[in-house]
Structure 1
Amino acid sequence: MTHSDDQHTDSPAIALLKEVGAETVKHSGGTLLTHLLRVEALLAAWGARPALRTAALCHAFYGTDGLPLVLLELSERARLAEAIGAEAEELVYFYASCDRKASYPGLAAADGEAVTFRDRFTGEEFTPTPRQRRDFAELTVANELDLARVNESFRERNGAGLLDLFTRWAPLLSEAARREVTAVLG
């Protein structure tokens, strides 16, 4: 899936991404900005709501458990919120804050079961809402599927593990996301 930033030319999010250098950072399949645009486009194709699509476009601002690159410090959260809105910024923070080792295993527990999410920035553990869990799962799947699509060695190294994880997360995923998991990972 290719994507251009033409539809985003006036976007404060794109302006901020360019300001902090996302279009010059090398990343699988091109630059970090092209990756972010592809992830956002994938979520749009799945019918995700605007705040989640915007969070996808900006999901790398605070770094992640898998990508230590930080485009904005946490002390600048208000700056990102001003550019993309409070709901989208909260989703970006939630995504970036995930301690994957502690949080991934139980994310898809049935509603009512204990789900522990650990914030890697604060060490706090809490139970995310069902919507937070679904948003997090959709964004994670879109991000990882984009990497698997454009980077064969990533897919060979991580594909089986991701397929297992995303199969367990299936109750959290949209039908479109589940179909894409099967198409990309088997």
Structure 2
Amino acid sequence: MWGAIALLEGRGAGAIRHPGGTLLAHLRRVHGRLEEWGGREELLAAGLCHAFYGTDGFAVSLGDAARRHELADVIGADAERLVYVYGCCDRKRSYPGMADGGEFVDRFTGDVLEVTDDERRDFAEITVANELDVVDASALDAEQARGLYELFGRWRPLLSDLAALEVDRRLSSCPERRDG
């Protein structure tokens, strides 16, 4: 973990603004949440570095996806693969079919990326940990939080029991939408 933190610090993650403080603080909180849920080492490393290549929702990147070996040398090839899968996800095209094996589209290339069921589960865990941290920073309004609750409900087959419990605890009480 220390090598990954040194890499993130060296790439400026401690100076990049992110809901709840800095990107580095966010990455550490995501790692901590995954650790609380009992994540294995590769998942924890991927959670710590999940925004290394930027994401569909956070454009700032710390590394070049064309030089993936730089991150793999620090966290291992399996963890780096999860970071790439997380960062390359075209959310609009991939989220709807995530739980049922639908297409997973790489936003960098536009191609359909082959992802395993285990990678889908890891992707879902990182996404939940990430989004709950953003919710903690009060960066989401009630409608966005309800949308996450609905999305993560559809993803329930992918989530660990602890992640699913956290989703229910944190997001199930979002007030219902009242249209005019």
Q: Above 0.5 in TM-score?
A: yes
- The answer (yes or no) to whether the contact 1:116–1:128 under 8 Å persists in 2 is no
Q: SS at 1:23's partner residue? A: helix
Matched AA of 1:138: E
Matched AA of 1:93: Y
**Root mean square deviation, CA, Å:** 1.2
Q: TM-score, normalised on structure 1?
A: 0.89
- The answer (yes or no) to whether the contact 1:147–1:155 under 8 Å persists in 2 is no
C-alpha distance in 1 between matches for 2:28 and 2:142:
23
Which of 93, 109, 120 does residue 107 from structure 2 map onto?
A: 120
The 4+ residue runs of structure 1 with deviation greater than 4 A are none
Q: TM-score, normalised on structure 2?
A: 0.92
Query: What are the within-5 Å matches in structure 2 for residues 1-186 of structure 1?
Result: 11-109=2-100, 114-151=101-138, 153-186=139-172
Q: SS at 1:117's partner residue? A: coil
C-alpha distance in 2 between matches for 1:145 and 1:177:
10
The Cα offsets for residues 138-174 of structure 1, whole Å up to 9 and x where unpaired, read as 11011001110121x4142410100000000001000
How many residues matched?
A: 172
Identity of aligned pairs, percent? 52
C-alpha distance in 2 between matches for 1:155 and 1:48:
29
Q: SS at 2:68's partner residue? A: helix
C-alpha distance in 1 between matches for 2:137 and 2:113:
34
